[in-house]
Structure 1
Amino acid sequence: MARDCDPELDAQVRSAARDGGLVLVTGDPLSGKTRTLWAALFTNLSGTTRVLAPLPGTDLRAVPTVLRGRGDAECVLWLDDLDRHLGEHGLTAALLAELAHLRVPVLATMSDEAYDAHRFGSPDHARLLSGVEPVELGTDWSPAETERLAAAAPGDLRLAGAYAHRARHGTTAYLTVGPELFGEWRRARRANAHPLGHRIVLAAVDLARCGVEEAQADVLRRACELYGDTAPVSPEEFDEAREWASRIRHGTTGMLVPGTEAGSWRAYGSLVEDVKDGLPGFGPVPLELWLFAVDTVGRVNDVLVRARAVLGPEADTNPEALLTLGRIEEEYGDEEAAEVLLRRAADAGSTEAAGRLGGLLFDRQDNAAAIPYLEKGAESGDTEAQCRLGIALMQRSEHWLRTAAESGDGLAALWLGDLLCGNGAMEDALRWYLKAAGAGMRADVATRIGEVLFGFEEYEEAEEWFRTAVEEGDSDGLNGLGRTYEARGALQEAARFYERSAASGDPTGAYNFAIILEDQGKPNEARKWFVRAHERGDCDGAFSLGLSLMRGKKFEEAEVWLRKAQEVGHHRAERALADLKAARTADGPGSPAPGAPDNVTA
């Protein structure tokens, strides 16, 4: 990259190549002194020129003799950090004169601080440097240099990164420190180095590649857990690794640098550009991180733009990339784009995409299109798809049942009534039950009509339909008759119908009959019917029997039955067991010894 000082430097190098002499470039650390002088060497000297680059501290007094032994071969003496090559055995004014006689150029660099110290310090060093006009190189780039950088950026990703980050990082520091940072970061992934620190920086780099330039520390900690089979990272481990990653290198920057918000961090810009450049060992951003970026950071427009640019080309061959991009489009509200992508992913075999597409269509109330995709999602274990599928099928069922029922189909009217009853639409359900009765389904629907009327407290009408059910051979009507009499206070009549219902095998009838007996002060008789209710599947039977036994201070037997109620999931059993424990304590050691209830079989 051309600097403003290049013409002056080129002229000095050509002059030194012709006549010998010292060419010196000075500047601040990381101003690009070495790179600029090296470029001038290759620009102005022939490709056959031999470069002698002795190590600091090398005795240079023998250099003329060595050069004379090379005959007419063109040579140049390269002394980077000239201050480390000074002294009695280093470069002196006398040695420089001898080299000039041999027409050997000496190319050297020196920091501004070192130059000032030596030029205006000891007489020997001053004598060496006094005849040299150094080429000064600054860290701040001029407008002309910045324009040249902008022109060159499209063809070079590193220059493009330097241009993009010029306001945040010094351009020369970016170009000089970047490779050093990248090298250290890359090697840090080894198990015996700093693998967690490497992963934290990688997470920051990949988030930047997703469009999230900076993130809070906790976001980085969770993001770095998305790589491979890594274990969760504790806050303490993360803080230690983050401190390593953010440590200042080369007096300039860390791999992680503070963001604009308190507690936020970002990757140093050149690292992001290096990974974008596709350097070996660094693959694409994990698909999970794209979704993590959206879910955690929120709707940052850059994320959508980057996702389209990066995941779009992958979509033709990668259903998971299709799914990820579809989910991002859905999150950003473009349902039309999301539907296209999710459909392609679902048709390519992604069951997750099928479930999500089915959900989009379901929300649009397009159940006919949604159901096939929801079925695929539901079969894969997607609970949200299972729920929506159930609702969609119910809605479709209602549509077709209503269509058939309106055409006079009695069975459809009955099922439609059941569906509406389950939805709580009791008046609508009653209307269709009555239509089913009128269509020849009287025996099947009479008890249902009685139950709805009972819920409306229309007891006399309910009684008529329950009696119809009994006359038609539906013994469930017996329990309904018992309830209508009980609701009107006719407990003897209610008990008679409950007993008949219980005798027919109805567990609810047995339970209700037991309750009547318990209320009449006949606990032993009641307990027999609680047992029968339990044996026939009534979940309240065991619970009520346990309470009855507890009231009778038959604590051991009560515990047995309450635990049975707990086993079948009775919602009050656990509380009753606690009450039982308290009752035992309160009753004390002088309480009657518990015994088995009279005539009760388990």
Structure 2
Amino acid sequence: MSQDVHINFSRDNRRTPDWKGSTLASEWKSRKRGELKWWFPASAVAWGALAIFLGSVGWSPWVVVPLGILGVVGLAIGPFLKEKAKVKDASVTTRLQSMLTKGSGSALAPLADEVPLNTWRVHKSRIEVPYLRRDAEEQFITAVKNAEPVLVLGSSMAGKTRMAAQLIKENFSDTRVFIPDAPDGVSNILNVGDIPRGHVIWLDDLERYLRDPKDLKARWIQELQSNGNILVATMRSTSYESFMPNSEEQSKSGWDTLQCFTKVYLTDETAESVRLANSSGNPELSMGIMNYGLGTYLGGGYLAVERLEAGRSSKPAGRAFVLAAIDWQRAGVTDPIPRGTAENLLYAYLGSTQSRVTSSEITEGLAWATDKAGGGGLFGLVEETDEGLRPFDYLVDFVSSTNTPIPYSLWLAVERCVASGSQLNRAGVIAEASGQLPSAAVLFERAAMQGDQDGMHNYSISLERQDQIVEAMKWDQKAADAGNLQALTGLAVKMLRSGEQTDDALRMLREAADAGDGSAMANLGVVLLEKGKTAEGFEWYRRAADAGSALGMVNYGIQLEHQGDESAAKAWYERAKDRGDASGAAHFQLSMLADKLGDKDEADRLLREAVARRNPTAMGRLGMIMAGQGRHNEAKTLFEGAAQRGGAVGLAMVGRDLADQGKYPQAEQHFKRAIAQGLLGAVTDLDVMYANTGRIEEAKEQYMAAISANDDVALRNYGGLLIHEKKLAEGEETFRRAAAHGSAVGMYFTAEALFAGGKADDQAEALVLLEQAASLGNLDALCESGRRAADEGDLEEARLRLRKAADGGHTYAAECLRLIESHGGEV
């Protein structure tokens, strides 16, 4: 390959190029101005004046005459030299005016590696993809390295320019590139007597230079070749054929010039298209290659987008047809959009400025949209078939990449369309992801009615969101019977939430998990953890996450968070959210993390997104927040929704309402379902209900279970129950164990038990424990110690402690404080 190649414009010193390492040492010789220098005529005048002076003073004629001749000759040839300099100046100007690029520094042409693709006239692709190797490359390189002018032929979108430019940049990166302006850039250069040497001469769309025989001649191609230049041209096959001789005109203009080139044909043959599609690594690109060919799909796509944008003003009705056809595909219906449907949707795409479209505008617009002239005769923006209008695939991909919302009117049309169950289900999935839940529900129902398995399962999910649980389970059962694993998992989960047939549900989960369903794996992990099988449960979480289950990712992230690895947990939550996390579990966990980090706004936003996905845990938490704000009706609605979906907080809160209404059996069932999910507060709720209904022994059993789990609320209620029964001694051992673990409640009730025992030796220990509990902020301990201080006459300390307890909400402390103030210190 030549190194540091320059141009030498001359008509001699011709040589054949050797691309194996030789260097052509010629270079540009440019000047700022080519006019005659001032000193040349001045010198001539000076010589003449000197001759006259010397003659006047008697010098010899042999000296004076030659000096005079020099002056005359100088003045005579001055204009000639000046004109010659101007010609040189003009040739440099011509060079600059006849080329499309300029190199860095003093060079008049850039290196091949410096020339961007758009300068080679490569059509810009809207999809960023690496260059894909073509079958014709070896033939091209062989011809170029043999110093043969090369003409790449193919269809208008075959990728001719892209391939040739890529190969020149790769194989001749340090060779300078001369790109003559069309149509007369070559003729201008050669007509002033200049020939570039050691350059790549780039003639893209060669027909542009051949329209006038004076612009490009066969002998010029040969002359450029013999001066060590690489000539590369491209041309459409149809244009090439137009230059061929025929029976009426044996010698067409330009045909002789074309015969100077070695032809390399670039076609989108099936075998190459299959290879390119398989190696592209992009599903949309692969399909585009197979349907249209690589060059047409990428290069033609750019032109299609340009036409679509230009249609905003030139053919708005035609553009509306195209957009309707595109969005029909984006909505999940792969069949063409019926023409009548597209026509009815035109106003959704014309905008508010277009008040009325005439029938002629509709006809002209459709003709524009289907016209293949803008696509080199290979494609229109839409294709009209017997079924309707099908858009150019590239445009579908392009519009999809802009995330432009699909109009509501099109979703309504999709709801009513005639399509297969699988297409209706796919449209439902896209509608749901787009926030069009009513349309999604309609589409899932229609897909289910047609017997589509996925449609049945998705319809079940839709019904569940509407709290139609029984009907949802019926559709899950139908889909499961048809072999749908996700439906089998969904049915098992609904059974577990209802608290019925848990053994059958567990069997179904194992069946689906063993068959590879990630959601089943994640839910099986939940059940196993609830049963105390921690290691096995965590293992199923990991397997579910690796299998791509959003629920598995969330549950595995929760495990990592419990282990203190919040960054890894957040990464799994984000992955789950990015997968679409329909359950809202990832949003809820991210909300909790944001809340922990103090980002309240982000926490609230994510929490509400989780609630919008009907996540029962999120509904319970938001319900508690609403209740704390006094918005009890909203809180009740959230609790009921959470309870219907099996959320522990919702179950417990609905259970409290049922208990207040005297519906104890229903309340008990809700409390027990909440307890099964590990909600300790529900244990206390159940205890209280038992105690209030006279089921004291059952209440004590529940209290002891909760106390074993370090539930201080249960411990307090248990102590209160024993005080009421005057049986504090019965619980002393339990209280002491809790106190030993640092429980202020345990300390307080141990002190009370010792006080109640009446033993003198126990009083001192009781006072110490009471003081410890008070110092930890236990309200009961503060109240009791304050009351004792008042009895001993220390009213200041009594007021201090009682006020602190009263401010914390302790009603008895507040009453004691009022008694002190009104009775002079007696309590």
TM-score, normalised to structure 1's length?
Answer: 0.47
Tell me: higher relative CO, structure 1 or 2? Use CA pairs within 8 A at least 6 residues apart: 1
